[in-house]
Amino acid sequence: MKIDFANLKFSYLEHKEKIDEAIASTISSTSFIMGQSVYEFEDALAKFSGAKYAISCSSGTDALLLAMMALGIKPGDEVITTPFTFIATAETIAFLGAKPVFVDINEQTYNIDVSRIEEKITKNTKAILPVSLYGQISDMEAINKIALKYSLPVIEDGAQSFGATYKGKRSCNVSAIGTTSFFPAKPLGCFGDGGALFTSDEYLADKMKSMRIHGQTKRYHHKYIGMGGRMDTIQAAVLLSKLPSYPEEITLRQTVAENYNQKLQTTVTTPDVSYDRTSVWAQYTVRLQNRDAIQGKLKEQGIPTAVHYPMPLHLQECFQTLGYQQGDFPVAELLAKEVMSLPMNPFLTKEEIDIISIQLDKNIDELII
Ligand SMILES: Cc1ncc(COP(=O)(O)O)c(C=O)c1O
């Protein structure tokens, strides 16, 4: 038996008719760029998130770039973020010539340790960029409070959390700007690259919309330095046909996570979701000893796993010039050695969860003996 990690095939087959029709109709319209589906998708996204404005764009990475460009982040500025995330979060800060300033993470949620943010704020700090890792939103109320005290904007990197909630509000609508990714393996994925920005601030929305199309305000009139960062119409059409059933898929993911929690609570450290939040379970990530050996054994047994992420960003070669060292962020460094993501998708069956849990338990026992 071969278990699928993200099961993109099943996800396509579930919506095949609608998706095929949406793609075919985009092709016959030949409106490949900024076609009708892009605008319809943005309206649907804004409604879904609760934010006043939703702006689609070319990827989650470009969404981060556009957010920081709209805020005027420039060389010499500092942006506070977490070292335990995908490279794009900090890479985009550095790409704009600014400096990522890392803060260690909370051992329960794996998200930025809010109690350590304030000590990193300097006169050069221009934004706080928390990540909603694995599908769970950071403690945004506390982060927004600190940001307000220092008049800083907060950008939520919600690439993994679109649809998650924090105190009843949806991800990407819990700070000045929210960004997300529709990379195929994300909880809501398209068939290539795609992303979006969210805000309720009209000025920022207009600026991000313009910057996404080369800073254009009207054809061949360029107010800002922007980029070619549009989402193409085919991706918007695909997402538009998937969005209505997304809440159902989130519920299915949550059921898979609950089943895992029940089966694994005595085997490994299972993930913790705060009482005031819901996760969309972009990843179901456990903590365990002997991670690499266990991963190898599970692979032999047809069970795919992944590590998100094996090296915290402050230790990456590309950030050597920032001067961080091993030991600077002990929690992130420890988790990088211990985390392992198990197959997670809405279509994972109880039987598959049983097999994964039994094998994981067995492999751990064998290694201890
Ligand atoms: C936390 C985080 N930020 C940003 C991104 C970048 O998104 P994309 O791959 O759509 O550029 C990702 C994608 O994996 C991510 O996980």
| Ligand 1 centroid, distance to 65 Cα (angstroms) | 12
What pLDDT sits at residue 294?
97
| Ligand 1 centroid, distance to 86 Cα (angstroms) | 6
Q: What amino acid occupies position 353?
A: I
Of ligand 1's listed atoms, the one at least distance from the Cα of 85 is 1
What pLDDT sits at residue 116?
98
What pLDDT sits at residue 251?
98
Q: Is 59 in the pocket of ligand 1 (CB under 6 A)?
A: yes
Residues 190-214 have pLDDT tens digits of 999 999 999 999 999 999 999 999 9
Question: Facing residues of 131 across strands?
Answer: 157
Residue 369 has pLDDT above 70, yes or no: no
The DSSP annotation for 298-354 comes to: HHHTT---B-S-SS-GGGSGGGGGG---TTSSHHHHHHHHHEEEEP--TT--HHHHH
**Token output for 333:** 């460094």
Q: Is 196 in the pocket of ligand 1 (CB under 6 A)?
A: no
- Only one residue has tokens 């993200």, namely 6
Of ligand 1's listed atoms, the one at least distance from the Cα of 308 is 16
State the average pLDDT over residues 165-193.
Answer: 98
Q: Is 179 in the pocket of ligand 1 (CB under 6 A)?
A: no
State the average pLDDT over residues 126-155.
Answer: 98
Residues 279-334 have pLDDT tens digits of 999 999 999 999 999 999 999 999 999 999 999 999 999 999 999 999 999 999 99
Residues 32-66 have pLDDT tens digits of 999 999 999 999 999 999 999 999 999 999 999 99
Gap between the Cα atoms of 333 and 102, Å rounded: 13
What pLDDT sits at residue 131?
98
Q: Is 60 in the pocket of ligand 1 (CB under 6 A)?
A: yes
- DSSP strand E in the chain: where? 53-57, 78-81, 99-102, 125-129, 155-157, 165-166, 169-170, 177-181, 195-199, 216-218, 221-222, 277-278, 284-287, 339-342
Residue 363 has pLDDT above 80, yes or no: yes
Gap between the Cα atoms of 346 and 333, Å rounded: 30
Q: Is 156 in the pocket of ligand 1 (CB under 6 A)?
A: no
What pLDDT sits at residue 325?
97
Ligand 1 test: best mutation among 66, 87, 181, 313, most atoms within 8 Å of CB?
181
Q: Is 82 in the pocket of ligand 1 (CB under 6 A)?
A: no
Averaged confidence pLDDT in the chain: 97
Gap between the Cα atoms of 30 and 26, Å rounded: 6
Ligand 1 test: best mutation among 61, 65, 132, most atoms within 8 Å of CB?
61
What pLDDT sits at residue 167?
98
Ligand 1 test: best mutation among 66, 82, 86, most atoms within 8 Å of CB?
86
What pLDDT sits at residue 10?
92
Kindly state the percentage of the chain with pLDDT values over 70. 100
Residue 265 has pLDDT above 70, yes or no: yes
Residues 228-254 have pLDDT tens digits of 999 999 999 999 999 999 999 999 999
Q: Is 84 in the pocket of ligand 1 (CB under 6 A)?
A: no
Whole-number Cα distances in Å, 162 to 47, 155, 190, 363: 13, 14, 13, 34
